[in-house]
Structure 1
Amino acid sequence: MLKQTLQQKLLQKLSPQQIQFIKLLQVPTASLDARIKEELEENPALEDASLVNMNEPLEEYPDKDPDDYEKEGEDSFEEEFSLEEYIQDDDYKDYGSNYNSDDEEEHKEIPIPVQYSFFEKLQNQLDLLPLTDKEYLIGNQIIGSLDDDGYLRRPILSLIDDLAFSQNVMAEESEVLDMLHIIQGFEPAGIGARNLQECLLIQLRKKDQNNEIIQKAIQVVENYLDEFTKKHYDKIEKQLNVTSDELKEIINEILKLNPKPGDSSSASGKQLQIIPDFHITNNDGVLHLTLNGRNAPELRISRTYQEMFEHYEKAEKTDKKMKEAVQFVKAKIDSAKWFIDAIKQRQQTLLKTMNAIMNYQYEYFLTGDERKLKPMILKDIAEEIGMDISTVSRVANSKYVQTEFGTFLLKSFFSEAIQTDSGEEVSNKEVKKILAECIANEDKRKPLADEKLTEILKEKGYSIARRTVAKYRESMNIPVARLRKEL
């Protein structure tokens, strides 16, 4: 039976401004420029003052002092703007003009070297060969079917079908295999392999075949690859009838090979660039925090749109088109103000959060000694700055700080507490550091098992379970004892 009822519900809903702020907060500095450029393209009422005032020097990487932001105060997203504010709000006209750095170095263009991609290098090698049209099309199809790591994981029969449907080339399996063999001779060595074993064999067969160590290495890869990956060296030693020293030479020869030849070719053109959001400097024992200048773009409301709005305000609004024009201009100015507010709020939140982290871990930032790291969780900082845990998480997961001893992700400063036998609470990072030192100093011929590592930690006063030791070891990407074994 259907019936109608009347209910009251209490709901919390984020405003568009708050949603915009949340999205901007989690954007790293490296991506902020692109996000601002996108907003400038979408909203003509928003201007980049640094581009408008071309006569003013622009610093690429100025630092911002936290004191400058405190003077500005915090603007609420819920503030309503009157019509007069759209015309007379000078704060937005010159937004960002007070953030110029004292550093007067001129902006210099960084030359970018011309580099060929992995596939272009292979294509260039193919172009140099004296091939028939059919062979060239087959070779071109094989190169286009390679993965980024240089492997051919597509079946030969599928390549034949691709040639027939896309190139109208009827090829036999033997013709494709012959062309694949030619491509496997290209540089870098190992290209075009269909599995790891074939990849390693291609590289070994390009070396001196008269060398006995190379011959033995080929035998290991052909017949004992499983034992090699599991480090069952005693079995290989017996099967090949070699001494420990000879086996060590054979294994070292295999370890020199590249299991992903495609990556090696393209890695040179891929450089991971980390742009820190903060700088912490040590001035005679006093830490000083600054914000990367890229977080403070010179944005303002377009003067053209302000004048346009003033003109529409004075004109009569009886005309329907005039009302639509006023609404359009008002919406664009609203959007620009909201975006500028979100950027300013982002700056204040970043500084507030990082300042709390710096004060909490003051001793660590003074020395760089991980043993000085105090146990700290997101809740500690959230309570300190009076914000939600999710806000702190968004800052910590995507922002970097540059110190005198390295550049770090903020998330790396957070750790759980572990109680020692004396009752003192220490960071689990301290335990991880000791664990890493124990593994680094172990006898690689008889590496320490997790049980033994647990005993060592207990002797040092850290009573933790074996499964916790295993968890810490895995978090540091350290393999089990069997896989750490060396000859």
Structure 2
Amino acid sequence: MLKQHLQFKLSQKLSPQQIQLMKLIQLPTQAFEQRLKQELGENPALENGKEENDSTDDPYDELYDNDESGDNETIDTEDINIDEYLSDDEIPDYRTKANNYSADDEEKNVPYAAGISFTQYLLNQLNTVYLNDEEWSIAEFLVGSVDESGYIRRPLSDILDDLAFTQNIYTEEKTIEKVLKIIQNLDPPGVAARSLKECLIIQLERKNPTPKIELAIAILDKSFDQFTKKHYKKLLQKHAISEEQLKDAISEVERLNPKPGGSYSGNNRMVEHVVPDFSIRIVDGELELSLNGRNAPELHVSREYSNMLKGYKEAKSKTKSQKDTVQFIKQKLDAAKWFIDAIRQRQQTLFVTMSSIMNYQKAYFLSGDERDLRPMILKDIADEIDMDVSTVSRVANSKYVDTPYGTKLIKEYFSESMKNDQGEDVSTKEIKKILETVITDEQKKKPLTDDKLAAILKEKGYPIARRTVAKYREQLDIPVARLRKKI
């Protein structure tokens, strides 16, 4: 049975302009500059730099005073050549500018070093080794199987099958093993190893043989499991050595590179350059915040486009194509004016949000001591500046601030709160810093377990459970007590 009923519903929808503004706010400095260049390229009514005419009147606003664009309006375009403004041959003013940065920026361009790939680096070394045709084909395949860390992580049996099916090369495992040993003699030392154990042993074997080196090789070869688990007493007994000898052998192993591929500087990996969006300085004991000048470009609406539209509106006759031209110009001018306003609003939002965060964490920014960080969540800042939590999140998750203590992602200053034994709210970052200090100062021969760490924190006024200590320790990337043990 069908029924009809009325229902009132109140809903809020974001306009396309609001959505675009949120996207602009989220962009960090470098991405914002790319977005700016894109908009300048797509909209000829938008120009970069200061306007040549110093008049304070906005030529754009004049166009919409007494705007009567009804059907009775007549347009005559005989004196205006639209092609002069829309020709693809004309070079816009902004394209003649050297850059889009403010005058006070020190570094305008970031140089990138050119280089060859890690794979090609290995193949170039193979050119100095004599190999027959079959061995060369196998060597090329093995080099292509080396990952970015410098390892070959596939069994030789799988490589044997792949050579047969994909390269039409039928060989034996011992031949592959022979070619692999040749590749393992290439630089960087340890490359093409099949395991961490093999990688470390290869590097040790490349060194001049000494008692310490030979002992280190023997320990890795015969007692690798006990070595990684730091069962030092078992190692002392098994190899009949003193603590001093074991310490020397461990010292040799600690100098090795567990990821030889990572040491190659020309492996063409993407290099991420962090550009701070804000800068905080201490001037006469007070904090001073500034927004990166590259976030505040000077833009204006094209006066030529504005005058052209004004000329159309004052004309006396029209055709349909000419009306379409007027509509096109108005759309471009509308888009240009909105984009300029959106950038101004973006600047204001960024500055207000970061200013609130700086003042909230004033004690930290003055001292640099993470123990001075106050508990702070997104809602604290959102309430203070009367903005939505999502807006604060967009600023915090993608922006960096340059401080006297280094450049950091803004979201790192946010943390949950816990109560100490005095009932005061303290930041979890403060607890983590104290935990890190306690572990740094512990006796490495007898590292503190999570239970003992929890007891020490409780004595210091932070009553937290052992499992919470374990969670914070893992977040700090600190291993368990057994793996922190040293002789």
TM-score range, shorter chain: 0.7 to 0.9
Q: The residue matched to 1:266 in structure 2 has which SS?
A: coil
Structure 1 equivalent of residue 467 of structure 2:
467
Structure 1 equivalent of residue 246 of structure 2:
247
| CA apart distance, 1:260 | 1.0
User: Quick one: which amino acid aligns to residue 458 of structure 1?
Assistant: K
Q: Distance in 2 between matches of 1:384 and 1:109?
A: 37
| CA apart distance, 1:233 | 1.9
Structure 2 equivalent of residue 84 of structure 1:
64
| CA apart distance, 1:157 | 5.3
- Per mean C-alpha deviation after superposition, the further-off stretch among 365-374 and 134-143 is 134-143
User: Quick one: which amino acid aligns to residue 84 of structure 1?
Assistant: Y
CA distance 1:396–1:366, change in 2 (3 Å) = same
Structure 1 equivalent of residue 74 of structure 2:
none
Structure 2 equivalent of residue 76 of structure 1:
none
Q: How does 1:69-468 map to 2 (within 5 A)?
A: 84=64, 103=104, 113-156=113-156, 159=159, 172-208=172-208, 210-266=209-265, 272-303=272-303, 305-307=305-307, 309-310=309-310, 313=313, 319-468=319-468
* Aligned partners of 2:117 and 2:267 also within 8 Å: no
Q: Please give the TM-score of this superposition, normalised by the length of structure 2.
A: 0.81
Task: Please give the per-residue CA displacement for 1:390-428, whole angstroms capped at 9, x wherever unaligned.
Answer: 111111122122222222222222222232222333222
* Aligned partners of 2:375 and 2:428 also within 8 Å: yes
Q: Distance in 1 between matches of 2:7 and 2:63?
A: 38
Note the residue ranges of structure 1 that are not aligned, 5 or more in a row.
54-79, 88-92
Identity of matched residues, %: 54
User: Quick one: which amino acid aligns to residue 225 of structure 2?
Assistant: D
Pairs aligned (count): 448
Q: Distance in 2 between matches of 1:337 and 1:155?
A: 62
CA distance 1:192–1:328, change in 2 (3 Å) = farther
Q: Distance in 2 between matches of 1:173 and 1:485?
A: 41
Q: Distance in 1 between matches of 2:39 and 2:174?
A: 56
Q: Distance in 2 between matches of 1:330 and 1:355?
A: 37
When the two chains are superposed, the root-mean-square deviation of aligned CA atoms in Å is: 3.4
Q: The residue matched to 1:408 in structure 2 has which SS?
A: strand
Structure 2 equivalent of residue 59 of structure 1:
none
Task: Please give the per-residue CA displacement for 1:84-106, whole angstroms capped at 9, x wherever unaligned.
Answer: 38x9xxxxx99xxxx99684x87
* Aligned partners of 2:116 and 2:266 also within 8 Å: no
Task: Please give the per-residue CA displacement for 1:254-307, whole angstroms capped at 9, x wherever unaligned.
Answer: 222211111111389765532211111222122211111111123333455445
- Per mean C-alpha deviation after superposition, the further-off stretch among 383-392 and 109-118 is 109-118
Q: The residue matched to 1:418 in structure 2 has which SS?
A: strand
| CA apart distance, 1:117 | 3.6
Q: Distance in 2 between matches of 1:307 and 1:129?
A: 73
CA distance 1:292–1:213, change in 2 (3 Å) = same
* Aligned partners of 2:449 and 2:481 also within 8 Å: yes
User: Quick one: which amino acid aligns to residue 261 of structure 2?
Assistant: G
* Aligned partners of 2:101 and 2:108 also within 8 Å: no
The structure with more radius of gyration: 2
Note the residue ranges of structure 2 that are not aligned, 5 or more in a row.
53-59, 68-92, 95-99
